[in-house]
Amino acid sequence: MKRWDLRPFEIRNLFNPAFCGLVLFRALTAYEEENTQGMPFSLTLLVLPLCLHKDSREIVANHSRSYLLKITENNQQIMIGFADRVNQMLPYVFEGIGLLLERGCISITDDGRITTIKKKVRKAITGTDENIACQKVARIVGREFSRIADRATIYTTFGIRP
């Protein structure tokens, strides 16, 4: 990973650790509404590739009342290049989680689940239209991950070997 000041301007703006952390936090919060134990760390790796990739984000947003497994079944294009996106996004996921940990917004349990700390991040979703869309889709993804409740199923659905 390049030092912050050596990264291209576009990368610094698109993958800002504060924004990536906020998107992750939205998914974690939605996950905890269904499952208070917190999101398994391995699932956090899938949040940013789904929420920041415009095509995937739009598909999930347009089918928000459907189940995630059904969405991926009916929209196979989500899985095209998904494993590569996950690998490319890993450093930004780690930076986002690191910032959330450093700021005391999340904690990690002994069994590797990530839980949010209440009243550390504003509940209101604000920002540009695209920023708001990323956060809303993160909430949908977090909720759906908790409903599925099986990491292997989620990974297999997106064509990634668990």
DSSP state of 113: E
- Give per-residue pLDDT as tens, 105-157: 999 999 999 999 999 999 999 989 999 999 999 999 999 999 998 999 999 99
Long-range contacts of 63-72 (CB under 8 A, 24+ apart): 64/140, 67/144, 67/147, 68/140, 68/141, 68/144, 68/145, 68/147, 68/148, 68/154, 68/157, 69/148, 69/153, 69/157, 72/157, 72/158
CB atoms within 10 A of CB 82: 20
Global pTM exceeds 0.75: yes
- Give per-residue pLDDT as tens, 88-109: 999 999 999 999 999 999 999 9
Residue 40 phi/psi, 5° resolution?
-60, 140
Check whether 44 has a pLDDT greater than 90: yes
